[in-house]
Amino acid sequence: MSTSVPAAAAEVRGRAPQPPPPGRRRPRASDRTRKERNLGWMLAGPAFVLMVGVTGYPVLNAVWLSLFDYRLTDPGARSFVGLGNYATILTDGLFWRQLGVTTAITVVTVAVEFVLGFALALVMHRALVLRRALRTAILVPYGIVTVISAYAWQYAFTPAQGFVNPLFGLGGFDWFGETVPALVVVCLSEIWKTTPFMSLLLLAGLAQIPGDYLEAAEVDGATAWQRFRKVVVPNMKAAIMVALLFRTLDAFRIFDSVFVMTQGAQGTETLSFLAYRQTISRVMIGLGSAVSVILAVLVVLIAVLFIKGFKTDLSQQRGS
Amino acid sequence: MRTKRRSRALSLVGALLVIAYATLPVLWIVSLSFKGGDDINNRRFWPTSLSLENYRIVLSSDLFLTALRNSVGIAAIATTISVVLATLAAYAVARLQFPGKKLLLGTALAITVFPIIAIATPLFNLWRTVGLYDTWLGLIIPYLSFSIPLSVYVLSAFFREIPWEMEQAAQVDGATSWQAFRKVIVPLAAPGVFTAAILTFFAIWNDFIFGITLTSSEAARPVPAALAFFSGASQFSQPTAPIAAASVLVTIPVVVLVLLFQQKIVAGLTNGAVKG
């Protein structure tokens, strides 16, 4: 349940909720306004209650449990330790290592996806032939189950079964025996699976650029690269930021591929995996909850940084 | 004329490259699934001879079939409920003024960016105490809360494009807000709702984290989680080929949906994201 909600960008940019259409909400009949309010909550209420109930409570519960030394197999020994779990985690070199691995995966995948996604978007945008086939094909990686993508890439690189080593004359090189090669394969699977999402967002951004701009630039003698840098990119900043924001947040939560390919072995453990292992495998509920809380805080931080950077961008655009 | 032909050729090359990018890994897993016996270790892309052995293994395995039943059932129920609730909420968001609307949207956005594992582990604790652990309902509930925000955004973007004069006309003719919603807006919004349903289905079909944290047996374990445990069952004989066959079977519905509704999916994914 990841890669989703590009449309939320509308909110991020502060465009919605849209003002009501003129003439619709004149304060002539307070009775009518009240009815509208009631209907609003009647319609939105169930969705809201579900969202808050299922996520709000567990989050608060996790914050609470993160303050205890609590092991599921030994509930009697549960004791309040305050911020002790956080201290344990933040002073453990392993946590910082995993933060590093997670950050590296995020930066590498998002950067490659952006470049590749842009290339795919340009091909689709300028396609003279096979337009429909292109858009259909690109949706296959998007729709495929992440676990299956991970298996496909893992098997391709496994020395015993894969075709990659013979193809490149690598003999019996064990991709999953060391940190960096294993992470490379993890990243490849992630990139393959999620680039289409990025490229479709960028494609929609490309479609928004008025054709005259490009023609005018061409008439003025701008090279293809100049047109790209001076006309295309500035005119689709919004789409670029949205695509980067959602992919970054998603990449930072990486879990499925790591679980399937390495089970966190060879130092490929990510933060999501750490939270999973502490809570589910080791049943260290207190410690695992603290990891979850830290992860959540980090994701919120990334989102805030992005949105902040985003807003200044927009105001600059308007100012000029 | 020559430049035109050249740009057509270039475009064709680009298109073929993109199609190869998208389909090669899928072809590889399909190819694996047809490798019988020791053929799996041939270290080549294509099987030496086609074998249906793996499909026979998978389709006679209770592990896979129950997981498939769980996945289909849970995804169908969760998608239906999610889309109905999200449609109502999105209508309210797009069309009505009510206090707390910002709170609703903010909450939805917060949930979509929240790390799933940070919800799954506390839910694991909670579900164990209330008895929802390892049940269909125990998965359906978190799926709802994670797919509703997605649908609310996709749908409210759709709803903003609907010609609202028609609703007003209905209200002038004496229809209440509710009637206007049901008789005028629902038929207009149906394509959007349908798109939201497909995207929701994909998201739920793809889930792995809830699948492995909130289940412990065949009672509720969905396919992606079952695949992962399938491989862990034996250290010495990696069931690579049967996993490939199972993967192909699970990917078929995705490919069919993509082939049938390509345009709608693309519109749903990008709608509202880049306008403004």
Domain definitions of chain A by residue range? 27-57, 66-319
Per residue in B37-46, pLDDT tens? 778 888 888 8
Q: How many CB pairs under 8 A join A and B?
A: 370
- Cα separation, A116 vs A102, in Å, equals 21
Tell me the CA distances in angstroms from A304 to A108, A308, B100, B128, one per residue in order.
21, 6, 21, 34
What's the pLDDT band for B273 if we cut at 50, 70, 90? Answer: low
Å between B130 CA and nearest CA of chain A: 13
Report the amino acid identity of residue B137: L
Nearest to B216, CA basis, from A151, A283, A258: A283
Q: Are A112 and A105 in contact (CB under 8 A)?
A: no
Å between B174 CA and nearest CA of chain A: 14
- Cα separation, B76 vs B137, in Å, equals 12
Lowest mean pLDDT among A106-120, A147-161, B63-77, B229-243: B229-243
B57 has a pLDDT exceeding 90: no
Non-local (6+) Cβ contacts of A289 within 8 A are A61, A62, A63, A65, A66, A85, A279, B121, B122
CB atoms within 10 A of CB B269: 24
Average pLDDT over residues B253-275: 78
Chain B residues whose CB is inside 8 A of the A20 CB are: 97
pLDDT the model gives residue B132: 92
Q: Give A246: exposed, middle or buried? Use CB within 10 Å, 0-12, 13-18, 19+.
A: buried
CA dihedral B3, A225, A114, A196 (to 10 degrees): -20
CB contact under 8 A, A145 and B251: yes
Asked if CATH classification 1.10.3720.10 holds for the domain at A66-319, the reply, yes or no, is yes
Segments in chain A below pLDDT 70: 1-29, 310-320
Chain A residues whose CB is inside 8 A of the B11 CB are: 123, 126-129
Higher pLDDT pick, B26 / A85: B26
Per residue in A7-53, pLDDT tens? 444 444 444 444 455 445 544 557 778 888 888 888 888 888 888 88
pLDDT the model gives residue A208: 80
pLDDT the model gives residue A29: 56
- Cα separation, A302 vs A69, in Å, equals 29
pLDDT the model gives residue B139: 93
List the domains of chain B with CATH numbers. 55-270 (1.10.3720.10)
Chain A: residue whose CA lies nearest to B30: A152
Token couple for A37: 């309010």
Token couple for B43: 């270290």
- What percentage of chain B has pLDDT greater than the value 70? 94
pLDDT the model gives residue B233: 43
Per residue in B91-127, pLDDT tens? 888 888 888 888 888 888 778 777 888 888 788 888 8
pTM: 0.85
pLDDT the model gives residue A211: 80
What's the pLDDT band for B1 if we cut at 50, 70, 90? Answer: low
Average pLDDT over residues B200-210: 91
Tell me the CA distances in angstroms from B198 to A87, A171, B78, B232, one per residue in order.
44, 43, 12, 31
pLDDT the model gives residue B27: 94
pLDDT the model gives residue A114: 95
Per residue in B79-92, pLDDT tens? 999 999 998 898 88
Per residue in B128-138, pLDDT tens? 889 999 999 99
Token couple for B114: 């929240």
Mutation pick from A148, A283, A317 vs chain B, by most beta carbons of B within 10 Å, is: A148
- Cα separation, A104 vs A191, in Å, equals 13
